[in-house]
Amino acid sequence: MVKAVVGANWGDEGKGKITDMLAKDADIIVRFQGGANAGHTIKNNYGKFALHTLPSGVFYDHTTSVIGNGVALNVPIFFNELKSITDKGVPKPKIMISERAQIVMPYHILFDQYEEERLGGKAFGSTKSGIAPFYSDKYAKIGFQVNELFDEAALKEKLKRVIEVKNVLLEHLYHKPLLDADELFATLMEYKDMVAPYVGDVSAFIDKALKEGKTVLLEGQLGTLKDTDHGIYPMVTSSNTLAAYGAVGAGLPPYEIKQIITVCKAYSSAVGGGAFVSELFGDEAEELRRRGGDGGEYGATTGRPRRVGWFDCVASRYGCRLQGTTDVAFTVLDVLGYLDEIPVCVSYEIDGKETKDFPVTHLLEKAKPVFKTLPGWKCDITGIRKYEELPENCRKYIEFIEGEIGYPITMVSNGPSREDIIYR
């Protein structure tokens, strides 16, 4: 059977930890979208790791880690990451890279930087990993699938054609150095040698595994609110972050996805720009940011301070609905133990009207949060393993939010480690 681990919010909900935990009982873990533009932080018996491209199942030796066709594959980053985990004593993972995955080209990263420079104050706050130029090229049909590395004559010819277009922009729009086809070809040949041992037909591999009764875990990157179609467009990522896309990005039948575990953080955080209705500022924000996550709310890829805010029931209910949630994993709850009382955003006020429906972007920008304040529990809940042993106000917080979002919270995460989990 297939399970998906996806995010309800803006990313950084703790999907890496939940995936790492669930991977214990899975055979195959698949990344199905996105690239090295966001990170998953995982803490386990080998140490603390920031993964960007490798699936969060790489720490077990019974699993196969798969890069699906939907991923933006940055080859050097992928192999550096692989080296960084084996250097720390993690056994070499079994890996498969889809022959249909596309490659992040060195110029995608340059174009990402140049475009953000050109936009200046109007920039998207991109992580400059080349993701937007990569997906633009994929859909413009001038991207490069991994299998194309193995047809050298066709590759050379296509590179020339693509570079012609890129060089016009480089010369006349960005005023930057031009690309050289021979140099790029040489780089791609290095990429070919690196990926060659791992390339395969992922869809056929998963089909066979499912027929053998194996368990496949789809690991999403970012969250619903960063989805290209259903998120806060245009301040979104350039791929679909929904579980539904897992079927496309891994090449499996949609009806095989039986469980959708939507990870939802006990407060809000976001990186990059865009409307953030329940955002906190000043000292209150600074304190939550400092205490947040595991060692503070700072981006796993960029180190940028994350924007933080109170839990947003409107955004999270929407986020869970679009994912098709069967289970909510409610994470990072331990962090809130310092608060006397905890505001929760229960609805938005837009043009004087109150609503619980998550709106389109131009209305979202006008939305003001309507808060309800719940009492805090004022103690450290890490180490608790039974739901009934949580303080009453903590259970009330969980149950209030469960009622507001309308999906069952079946897992509560109260610390960064694998063991810090309470099943309900």
Using CA of residue 200, residue 201, residue 204, residue 209, what is the dihedral sign?
positive
Q: Nearer Cβ to ligand GDP, position 216 or 263?
A: 263
20, 25, 27, 40: the catalytic one is 40
Q: Nearer Cβ to ligand GDP, position 207 or 287?
A: 287
197 to 56, 96, 99, 191, 410: CA distances (angstroms): 21, 9, 11, 11, 40
Q: Strand pairing of 353-355 and 341-350? A: antiparallel
Beta bridge mates, 4: 218, 260
| Total residues in contact with ligand GDP, by rule CB under 6 A | 25
Out of 3, 31, 40, 307, point to the residue binding ligand GDP (CB under 6 A).
Answer: 40
Out of 129, 262, 325, 331, point to the residue binding ligand GDP (CB under 6 A).
Answer: 331
3-state DSSP helix/strand/coil percent for the chain, to nearest 5?
Answer: 40, 25, 40
User: Among the candidate windows 62-70, 72-80, 233-241, 412-420, which touches ligand GDP by CB under 6 A?
Assistant: 412-420
C-alpha–C-alpha distance, residues 17 and 267, integer Å: 17
The backbone torsions φ and ψ at residue 195, rounded to the nearest 5 degrees and listed phi first, read -85, -25
Q: Calculate ∠ Cα 341-345-348, nearest 5°.
A: 150
Q: Nearer Cβ to ligand GDP, position 85 or 209?
A: 85
Does 12 bind ligand GDP (CB under 6 A)? Our answer is yes
Per the CB < 8 A criterion, the answer to whether 361 and 380 are in contact is no
**Going residue by residue from 286 to 325, which x/- string records binding to ligand GDP, judged by CB under 6 A?**
-------xx-----x-------------------------
- Give the footprint of ligand GDP on residues 176-195 (CB under 6 A): none
Q: Nearer Cβ to ligand GDP, position 323 or 331?
A: 331
Minimum CB separation of residue 335 from ligand GDP in Å reads: 5
DSSP SS3 for 18 = helix
Out of 2, 10, 15, 326, point to the residue binding ligand GDP (CB under 6 A).
Answer: 15
User: Among the candidate windows 4-12, 58-66, 89-97, 135-143, which touches ligand GDP by CB under 6 A?
Assistant: 4-12
Q: Calculate ∠ Cα 108-143-99, nearest 5°.
A: 115
In the annotation, is 172 catalytic? no
375 upstream amide cis, omega within 30 of 0: no
Minimum CB separation of residue 414 from ligand GDP in Å reads: 5
Does 420 bind ligand GDP (CB under 6 A)? Our answer is yes
Per the CB < 8 A criterion, the answer to whether 264 and 9 are in contact is yes
Structure-token match 């059977």, residue found: 1
Out of 268, 404, 414, 422, point to the residue binding ligand GDP (CB under 6 A).
Answer: 414
Out of 247, 334, 348, 364, point to the residue binding ligand GDP (CB under 6 A).
Answer: 334
Q: Strand pairing of 40-44 and 368-375? A: unpaired
In the annotation, is 40 catalytic? yes
Minimum CB separation of residue 263 from ligand GDP in Å reads: 6
User: Would you please indicate which residues are annotated as catalytic (active-site) residues?
Assistant: 12, 40
Binding site for ligand GDP (CB under 6 A): 7, 11-17, 38-41, 43, 293-294, 300, 331-332, 334-335, 413-416, 420
